[in-house]
Structure 1
């Protein structure tokens, strides 16, 4: 089998890249060990985060660091066995999270975020997936006035610098908007620009159907079998249907990117933040009307098609270590006091891994030492948000077009000697 391009990984980034290449007349085959959007893209808060100009940094204040060191929070957890291998990454991540560095990173990250809604809208309309989308933002809620006022101050700065819109909510407004919330709140902050997704997996499947309507194919396969061949097409990967050859290949494997890149001699400082979710029913007909972050506790509630999805923060662990959903247990206990959650609707907690770089920006662009090899991974918490804009920009670069944004800040070369 031969094709113009093989895209390794059928998550939101790989799917979006494959669509944009197919639109440009390329024959494209997606290769994934599972179906479309069944790994990291399956489980998330379902947000297209137009407000997320500042990627999630590492805290610098002593109080937060001490709290995380105790390893008993909802928003962060770590495996002791993983720490020795993570220390070099965490030191660089902590350094880049400093005020000046984080400001500079945000300025480079902003073009990706600024185009996130428009590029998703293009694919949503093309795939007929509008019924999966809400366009009324999401909100943080606060239990104390101090946390509320600090968030309001930060929101003003963000709006002024990057044109992100928000609305401040009083405690009485929150009660009107969410009458089923059980705790007294000091106020809330609603980001009005983001869109929310009622079922991320269904959106991925809609994008896959659209890709297939363009002539693209999805086949099972093991990305680790990728090899560079001097004769023939240039790249070969094994599939159950036989070897698949292509002139170009895109590595869009998220947290599994190193299964390919290391074998080819590229050693990126890629770590993972694992996360968990669970769906719930509600008691006595209670309704959650909005996507809600309980900001001071560190968990998220989202009203999705399968029920109320509760998502946790970050777990620092080896990517393939067994599940340890202790954060979910902690979050569920607090969330039941916050909102009348009923039965669990999933047989077991879902777990996924977010691929992270120490400068919090993705790796997008041409591989420096191999012809026809391209990278698109490392989007951390914003994979769902940035998949379509990444896919368009990379497809444009691969076909020699002017890219919708400048992708130089995300080039692979920045991590390679």
Structure 2
């Protein structure tokens, strides 16, 4: 096969990688996008609640409440479970996560990510318009429900805290919840409505639409394995089914698989995964859900996807490729049926995915410290769908010598030594 060439190779065609490819392409780079699947958006980007969380300015940090931690340790909560066999592997990472979740460090992470969160929906709106898929972005916001007065009080505190950052989230009583989502049933202490986030009723489809835009603009898509990446003089080379590609620069955007490239190159960046599951269920009796709904105390989320009502779980700590567990969905689906009229399960089997996380809940974006031409764009934790386009812009500005619109220091790989 002939040797292929590009200015830049992007490894990974999830929301993060496709967005980086588009922003580099806009700036005149000849970009080759490579994924192990023959289409974009088949892994982590496929399975989530579809929320562009431009109002979620505080990262998902490790809890500091002793009682809550004890419940997690006993594996009793639907919000978080862990695979006991994998405990030795991820326990050291959990300790780093706990340390990074101190009030001061958590606030520092929130402030670092705030410019990205604020810009996230704007960047999606631009790409949705360019891709010509307005039906894949809805301005619905989303709703969080609280069953106990204690959990509602914590949520109200967060609403007050968020007002300092210009967010006007709304506290709802039971009557207001019923007015917004009339087909919900149950007793609630109250809820919080976040009006500004966007909703994507087909996250995997949106990644594919962005990839199609990349292709229409001359971008090339290849099927290949990121583990074949190697330095070749001043360039980089990677094998694909269509032949080897040589490029001056490579962007590592392989999400939870980024360690497969990092480790052979000698980088000890503490990447871990939080796994999650979803299944689609048909609504009954012509019931309609207007926006995603989080049943906060019971640890699951419902999202009105094009395919059906998506029931998504909380976090599972386990090895990325460990066998799937039905435990969280076994709890979530019966509870969801009591909240909203649900019929038959649509999917032949549940979907399992992995969120790539660093202890400080910030992605790694920027230049690889010891390898010229290698750039990082991974570790977006729960916000891969939200942040993909905005971090793609930030990275492209860094790579092309523009002045970045946000401070890049907090996202540098060097923060881990």
Alpha-carbon distance in 2 for matches of 1:165, 1:239:
48
- Aligned partners of 1:73 and 1:330 also within 8 Å: no
The alignment yields a C-alpha RMSD, in angstroms, of: 1.1
Q: Identify the residue that residue 3 of structure 1 maps to in structure 2.
A: 6
1:51 aligns with 2:55: yes
SS at match of 1:58: coil
Are residue 404 (structure 1) and residue 397 (structure 2) matched?
no
List per-residue Cα deviations over 1:73-103 (Å, max 9, x = no partner): 2211101121112121111101111212211
Corresponding position of 1:378: 379
Whether 2:205 is the aligned partner of 1:170: answer: no
Structure 1 residues not aligned, in runs of 5+: none
Mapped to 1, the partners of 2:189 and 2:353 lie a distance apart of: 33
2-side partners of 1:242 and 1:142: how far apart?
54
Q: 1:107 & 1:399 partners in 2: Cα distance?
A: 25
Residue 266 (structure 1) aligned with residue 267 (structure 2): yes
In structure 2, the residue matched to 1:279 is 280
Partner of 1:41: 45
2:114 alignment partner in structure 1 = 110
Counterpart-to-counterpart distance in 2, 1:340 and 1:72:
26
Matched, 1:125 2:137: no
1:139 corresponds in structure 2 to 143
67, 70, 74: which is aligned to 2:74? 70
Following superposition, the deviation at residue 149 of structure 1 comes to 2.5
- 1:114: Cα distance to partner? 1.3
Aligned counterparts of 1:283 and 1:28: Cα–Cα separation in 2: 46
- Identify the residue that residue 200 of structure 1 maps to in structure 2: 203
CA separation in 1, counterparts of 2:289 and 2:125? 25
TM-score under structure 1 length normalisation: 0.97
- Aligned length in residues: 413
Match of 2:194 among 186, 191, 195: 191
What do the CA deviations read for 1:35-72 (whole angstroms, capped 9, x no partner)? 20100000001011011211101111111112112213
Structure 2 counterpart of 1:181: 184
2:229 corresponds to: 226
Alpha-carbon distance, 1:146 to partner: 2.6
Structure 2 unaligned segments of length 5 or more: list them: none
* Equivalent in the alignment of 2:86: 82
Question: How does the TM-score come out when normalised to structure 2?
Answer: 0.97
The corresponding residue for 1:238 is 239
What secondary structure, in the 3-state scheme, does the structure 2 residue paired with 1:273 have? Answer: strand
CA distance in 1, matches of 2:286, 2:121: 33
Cross-structure match for 1:24: 27
